[in-house]
Structure formats: C-alpha cells, structure tokens
A and B are shown apart, each in its own frame.
Chain A
Amino acid sequence: MSISATLPRPPTDDKRWKIVETTMRRNDFQPDALIESLHSVQQTFGFLDIPSMRWVAAALKVPLSKVYGVATFYHFFTLKPQGKHVCVVCLGTACYIKGGRRLFDEVRNRYAISEGQTTKDGQLSLLVARCIGACGLAPTAVVDGKVLGKRSPTELLSALDEALERKQES
C-alpha cells in the first residue's frame, strides 16, 4: 500500500508507536481521526510532546498548527508528563456543593502542588475534573484510575498514602 510506504518514521525506536499507528491505520489515516490518534498517544505515553504531535500531523497530513490547536483546546490532553500517580479531584456542581473544594485544598496543601502540577519527585500529579458522573456519591476523587466515592479529606489523603507506598514497594 502506498499509504504505509509514505508513513513517516516514528519519533523514536520505541515499539509502542505501533499502537498509535494501529489507531491511525484503522481510520485509514484520515484527518478526522486526529482526536482518536492523540488519545492513543496520550494513553500510551502519558502525554503529548512536540515530536509526537509532529509525527501524527505528518501521518494524517494535517498541519502541525492544527494538531497543536486541537491538543491545547481539549482539557483532556496534557502536554506535560504526569506523575507516577494521578489524583483527580472532581469539582463538578454536586461535588462542589458537598465539599469537593476541601478535598482539593487538603491535597494541594499537603503536597504543595496546585492544579495541573506534579510533585518535584515526579510521584504525584493533581488534576481537577469537571464531573466524573458519580454525583450520587459526592464528593469524589479518582486515584490512579480508581473512583473513590463519599470520601472525607482524611480518607482521601490516606488513600493517596496507600497509592504512593504501593509504588515504592514495587
């Protein structure tokens, strides 16, 4: 196929670029697969950097400016590497009314990081969600992909302790 013949080389020799390539191939390298492809990059590598965006742009034949525009328009995409652990505090309306702000403040104060930041040792990132759809259990947080419902600030902090320790052991 001419498409694969003209497919530009991935930014590095990392085999995981194949995963992203599969996503793009499944969509016939059409420009409308841009968001899907960026999801694939972020899921595989944790964030979007310029070399990866440049590669996706070339593969889908989309201007780099457009790729950058999309990557920065949507909240879900991040251009910075995330910490080993990620804590997302939901500040949707239901969680806000039920004290989600307090969860956020406690984590922020303890680890001295604000929204979107990662601790200096690269262990923990703190993010804010608009609503994760578990409003019946407000306030909620997500630690390493696991949703925690009806948590007090102390409970959230101990869940974080647990997550951070787990990694150090392994």
Chain B
Amino acid sequence: MKPEELTSMMEKARADMQAFDHHINVCTESGCISLQSDLLLKTLGDEVKHRGLTEKVCVKGVGCMGLCCNGPLVKANTTLYQNVKSEHAPAIVDSLSSQPVQELLCDTQQPFFTRQKLIVRENSGRVDPESLIDCIAHGAYQALLKVLTSMTPQQVIQEIADSGLRGRGGAGFPTGLKWATVAKAPGTRKYVICNGDEGDPGAFMDRSMMEGDPHRVLEGMAIAAYAVGAQQGVIYVRAEYPLAVKRLTKAINMAHRHDLIGHNIFGTKFDFNVEIRLGAGAFVCGEETALIASVEGKRGLPRPRPPYPANSGLFGCPTLINNVETYANIAPIINNGAASFAQIGTEKSKGTKIFALTGKIKNTGLIEVPMGIRLKDIIYDIAGGIPDGRAFKAVQTGGPSGGCIPADMLDITVDYESLTKAGSIMGSGGMIVMDETSNMVDVARFFMEFCMTESCGKCVPCRVGTYEMHELLDRIYEKRGTLDDLQLLKDLCGMVKQTSLCGLGQSAPNPVLSTLRYFEHEYLDLINQAQASEADRNAAAKGESIKLEVLS
C-alpha cells in the first residue's frame, strides 16, 4: 500500500460510514458474548434486513464498552442500552427514528463514564475489530505512516521517551529506555514480542484490547520494530483466550493482504512480519525470560538476568518485550505528540491506565483513568461502591504479585510509586474489591495456592517456600495455627522474596506481607481461636481422666 492509498481508503470508508442514517454497535467481546450478544447481533441484523433498511442502518459488532456487569451493551446512535436481549431487537430498531427504549437505557452521564479518559481504548466499542476498513476509517495505521515517512528510528525513540510512558505490564520500566537499549544492541536480527500472556487472575484489559482493537496492537508493534530495527514480531497469547487469538489472526492476515505489514511497508524499505504463538497455561510465562523460552518451544523456565532480553533474547537475538497495553499506547503518542501524553498523569507516571474492576463492587468492567486519580474515586465514584449495604474492606491490586490496600488508605493516588509504597503494585491492572465478608487470611491463602501451583520448580526458594507458606496459611486459616507458625510464615516471606530467581517467587510473599501489614489481627484472631479450642480440648481430656480416676 502506498501512503496516499491509506488516506484515500480512510476517506472512502468514512464517506461510506456517513452514508448510513443510523448506527447500531453491539459489544461482541467474550464477556458480552457469554450473555449471548452474538445472537443479539445476528437478530438485529436480521431485523434490519427484514425491514429493508440495510442501506440506512449499519449494524456491527464492536469491542468492549466498559460496563461489563450490565451487558450485553448496545449503542444505537448516541443512546446506550444495557442488559439487551435478542427479543429487544425490534424495539431498538423502532427507536432509531423515535423515542429511546426507556427500560433498557443506560445512563452515560454517570461517573463511570464521565470520569474516564479514553486514549488507549478510544476506539474500543466504536470499531469493528474484524474489519480492517472500519479500523482504518477510525485512524488505524496513521501513526505508522507518520513514523515511516517522516521520522527516523531515533526520533521515534525520543518521542516515546519524552512521553514518559512506562511499561504497563506491571513493573513500570520506562518504555523509551527499553527501546533505546534494544536499538543500541549489536546484531542484525532483532525481535519484538508482545506479551499477551495475561496470567493475573482478575485482569482482562489485554484480552479486551486484543479482542476489541487488534490493529492498534499490531500498529504499536510495527512502530516499535521500526524504532529498534527489528523485522520480526511475535504475539504471545494465552490459549485461554480463543477469541483474541481468532481476531488477532484475522487482523494479521488482513494487514498482510493490504501490505500494512510484510514487505516494503508504505513503499519504504521497512519490512515487518508478525506471528502468533500460543501459550499453554503457565503463569510464569508472563516473566520475560520464561516467555522467550516458551516461544522457543521449551518449558517456560525463567533464567537469571543479565543478560537481559534486550541484548540476548529470542534465539539469542536482541529482543524487545512489551505488554499489550504498552503497544496500544504507542499510536496515540505518535499521533498526538509526546507533550499531550505527558500532560496527563503525575510527575513520574504519565498517561492513563486501564483497570479491570471486579469483585464485590457495583460496576464491574473495564475503565481507563488518568494516572494520579485517587483510589477512593475509582472505588466509590466510578465503580459505584459496595453493593448490598456492606462495608468496603480492601482492594487487591497487582494479582498474585500485588497486595491488599485497606479502607483507611483509599486516599492514595493511583500511580506506580504510591501503590508500591502502600505495599502493593500497579501490576497489570486488576482491581479486586473485597467487602467485610471476605477473610484476608483466606485471600492470602488463595494467592499462595496460586503461586505454589504456578511455581515452575526451577529454584528451591520458590518451589519449596511457596509450598511451606501455603501449608502454614492453611493451618492458620483452619484454626490449627500457633504464634510460632505465624513467625515462621514471616521469616519465610523474607527468605522467598530475597532469594527466588524470578519475579514470580520474589513477589509471591506480597499478598501475605500486605495482609499481615494491615490485617494482622485477622491472623491473630484465628490463632487465638485455635489456642482456645486447644485449651478446651485439654480441659476436656483432663476432665475425662479425673472422671476415670473417680470411677476406678
């Protein structure tokens, strides 16, 4: 494709879009599909066809609109409908030229929508992820065009560095710095890898991104490849996300067909190919060296760093690994400039972050908020607080590597540093809210069980340590624990944290440490109960023996 072809394609697609009088967008991501939105999409299409309106009404499937708990969501022109079922299709088509369907209305003026800032997800819920033309109409590949025709790789890296973007996978490493390291690494063969192994239970931002706007991820990868001098890209996706795999595959094929990836992109000398590699269910493969081993077809075992993948990664070549959301941030930074990106957020954490809100909370789903927003505003304003009149207890961020933040710390702002200071981490963006009915020892035990089974077994501290910690937590939770057990648990936390090989083991004690920090009384309560029942048993046994003596 030539540069002018992209522009003419975009203009034509936009004109085609405007030729329709009405637009109906139906969410067709995994969440809404589980509530039968695929059937709904078909019914709406049939209804429009039946009435002979196919030239006037455009019905399409789109990505996530955020408020998953009220799905399936449908947007008819500017009106948002929630909990829509197939039988509502005629009423929705009727409403296009008259009054909205009252009982299905979803208030778009509620804080859930108004307090968000959509940059990465700006096209999610607007574009049909399975149509390249529709994505191009909404500006896809414009950033790649700009980069290839008017910027040098150094300028691209400088732009990303100036934006202040940090890795969205969890650790928050400055993206510009990472790119510069790979660009500087000697070698003619280099790789870019997209980490779509979203293993944190409770997080689904990356799934949504890959299902809802796959071309944006591809575009980000292509720009990265140009910047660091790579020709080959790999997207590593969990096998548990079949729809994401399907849509990415389709996106790659379509982009190939239109020469948006492949040989001599936009008539320049830049070549870039992408392939998908499936994960096979191993949390440790989120760690970059383990991920590389898995892409190479091996067991996902991490290895000590250095050498870092930037110097010696896939097949021993310099390799850039970024997370899905990081790549999705690239196109807007290039299009709108680093300065406009850097305006958003705090001093050290720029831009927006996508969070997955789940657990005991009113509005569950996906949100994109500016960095630096108060945690309280997310929980009570955007997410609508705790349902059933219960009290908030803690919010868990960062998955099995993160920690729990209690009610009295909700005033902290959401950025990399504040969350770390509070004993948790930003992580990939899962936020699981717990109310007063959740027991924190049980939560810690849950995460430890996760880490124990997901430990790859390569290093002893992690393999044995997580097992022992799980045993101790189990004992305490089952009211069989002692104060010695608690002390041993604390000791093990420090040992496993300091001596494990990779991030999995180093962060496995975090859920225990943070619950101990804020909720130690729950541990002590259980231990006290254990001692009390032990004392009872002893007393009973003693009573028994006295009785026996009397009898004899």
A93 adjacent to B201 (CB under 8 Å): yes
B352 interface residue per 8 A CB criterion: no
Complex contacts, B263 vs chain A, CB 8 Å: none
Residues in B with CB closer than 8 Å to A148 are 34
A39-B239, A97-B432, A135-B358 given; A34·B201 CB < 8 A: no
Q: How far is the CA of A75 from the CA of B240 in the complex (A)?
A: 11
Question: Do residues B71 and A74 form an inter-chain contact, with CB atoms below 8 A?
Answer: no
Known contacts A75-B281, A138-B364; decide if A94 and B201 are in contact (CB<8 Å). yes
B446 touches A96 (CB 8 A): yes
Q: A93-B202, A131-B201, A135-B356 are in contact. Are A39 and B280 (CB under 8 A)?
A: yes
Q: Are B240 and A133 in contact (CB under 8 A)?
A: yes
Q: Which residues of B contact A134 (CB under 8 A)?
A: 30-31, 34, 68, 204
* CB-based contact A74/B280 at 8 Å: yes
Which of B84-92, B174-182, B291-299, B521-529 binds A? B291-299
Given A135-B364, A137-B35, A147-B30, are A74 and B281 also a contact pair (CB < 8 Å)?
yes
Cβ-neighbour of A149 out of B31, B241, B281, B295 (below 8 A): B31
Of listed A66, A133, A150, residue having the most chain B CB within 10 A? A133
Provide a sorted-by-A list of 15 A–B residue pairs whose CB atoms are within 8 angstroms.
Answer: A32-B315, A36-B278, A73-B282, A73-B299, A74-B280, A94-B201, A94-B364, A98-B358, A130-B240, A131-B200, A134-B30, A135-B430, A146-B34, A149-B31, A149-B34
Say whether, besides A35-B297, A92-B201, A148-B34, A136 and B358 are in contact (CB < 8 Å): yes
CB of A99 to closest CB in B, whole Å: 11
A148 to B277, CA, bound (A): 27
Q: Which residue of B lies closest to A131 (CB)?
A: B201
Chain A residue numbers with a CB within 8 Å of B277 are 35-36
B530 within 8 A of A: no
B457's nearest neighbour on chain A, judged by CB, is A73
Report if B33 contacts A (CB, 8 A).
Answer: yes
Q: Digit string of A143-165 for contact with B (CB within 8 Å is 1, else 0)?
A: 00111111000000000000000
CA distance A93 to B442 in the complex (A): 11
Q: How far is the CB of A82 from chain B (nearest CB, A)?
A: 15
- Can you list, as one digit per residue, whether each of B258-283 has a CB less than 8 Å from chain A (1) or not (0)? 00000000000000000001111111
Q: A39-B278, A75-B280, A93-B446 are in contact. Are A137 and B68 (CB under 8 A)?
A: yes
Closest to B284 in A: A73
Within the complex, the shortest CB–CB distance from B510 to chain A, in Å, comes to 14
Contact bitstring A1-41, B, C-beta under 8 A = 1, else 0:
00000000000000000000000000000111111101100
Whether A135 pairs with B34 at a CB distance below 8 angstroms is no
Interface string of B383-401 (1 = CB under 8 A from A): 0000000000000100100
Question: Which of chain A's residues have a CB closer than 8 A to the CB of B35?
Answer: 137, 149-150
A64 CB-CB contact with B under 8 Å: no
Contact of B365 among A133, A136, A147, A150 (CB under 8 A): A136
Question: Which residues of chain A are near B242, meaning CB under 8 Å?
Answer: 145
Chain B residues, CB < 8 A from A140: 34
User: Once bound together, how far apart are the Cα atoms of A129 and B239, in whole Å?
Assistant: 12
Q: A134 to B199, alpha carbons, bound, how many Å? A: 13
B60 at the interface (CB under 8 A from A): no
**Roughly how many angstroms separate A75 CA and B399 CA in the complex, as a whole number?**
19
Q: Quick one: which of A68-111 are within 8 Å of B by CB?
A: 69-70, 73-77, 92-98
Q: How many residues of A contact B (CB 8 A)?
A: 42
Instruction: Decide if B359 is an interface residue (CB 8 Å cutoff).
Output: yes
Which residue of chain B has the shortest Cβ distance to A147 in the bound complex? B34
The CA of A149 and the CA of B83, in the complex, are separated in Å by 13
Find chain A residues with CB under 8 A from B399 CB: 93
Q: Do residues B297 and A133 form an inter-chain contact, with CB atoms below 8 A?
A: no
- Bound complex: CA of A98 vs CA of B388, how far in Å? 14
Residue A132, interface by CB 8 Å? yes
Q: How large is the interface on B (under 10, 10 to 19, 20 to 34, 35 or more residues)?
A: 35 or more
Quick one: closest A residue to B200, CB to CB? A131
Mask for B112-152, Cβ within 8 A of A = 1, else 0? 00000000000000000000000000000000000000000
In chain A, what residue has the closest Cβ to B211?
A133
Asked whether A136 lies within 8 Å of B31 as measured between CB atoms, the reply is yes
A19 to B467, CA, bound (A): 41
What are the residues of chain A within 8 A of B438 when measuring CB–CB?
A: 97
Residues of chain B with a CB closer than 8 A to A149's CB: 31, 34-35
Residues of A within 8 A of B309 (CB): none
Q: Is A97 within 8 A of B31, CB to CB?
A: no
| A135 & B204 in contact (Cβ 8 Å cutoff) | yes
Check if A76 sits within 8 Å of B281, measured CB to CB. Answer: yes
A136/B281 in contact, CB under 8 A:
no
Please determine whether B33 and A98 come into contact, CB atoms closer than 8 angstroms. Answer: no
Chain A residue numbers with a CB within 8 Å of B280 are: 35, 38-39, 74-77
The residues of B that contact A34 with a CB separation of less than 8 Å are: 297-298
Set of chain A residues within 8 Å of B357, measured between Cβ atoms: 136
Q: Does any Cβ of A come within 8 Å of B450's Cβ?
A: yes
B300 interface hit (Cβ, 8 Å):
yes
Task: Type the 1/0 row for A110-148, where 1 means its CB is closer than 8 Å to any CB of B.
Answer: 000000000000000000011111111110100001111
Contacts of B410 in A (CB 8 A): none
B447: chain A residues within 8 A (beta carbon): 93
B33 CB contact (under 8 Å) in A30, A94, A95, A147: A147
Q: How far is the CA of A38 from the CA of B207 in the complex (A)?
A: 23
Q: Is B373 an interface residue (CB 8 A)?
A: no
**Bound CA–CA A129/B438 (angstroms):** 21
Report whether A137 and B297 are in contact in the complex, using a CB–CB cutoff of 8 Å.
Answer: no
Interface presence of B198 (CB below 8 A): yes
The 4 closest A-B pairs by CB, nearest first: A136-B68, A92-B201, A74-B280, A75-B281
Question: What are the residues of chain B within 8 A of A38 when measuring CB–CB?
Answer: 280
Q: Is the CB of A92 within 8 A of B356?
A: no
Per-residue contact bits, chain A 43-76, to B (CB 8 Å; 1 contact, 0 not): 0000000000000000000100010011001111
B434 proximal to A (CB < 8 A): yes
**Contacts beyond the supplied A93-B396, A97-B438: 17 A-B pairs with Cβ under 8 Å:** A32-B295, A32-B296, A35-B277, A62-B297, A74-B281, A77-B281, A94-B358, A96-B201, A97-B358, A131-B201, A131-B203, A133-B30, A133-B204, A134-B31, A135-B204, A135-B358, A137-B34
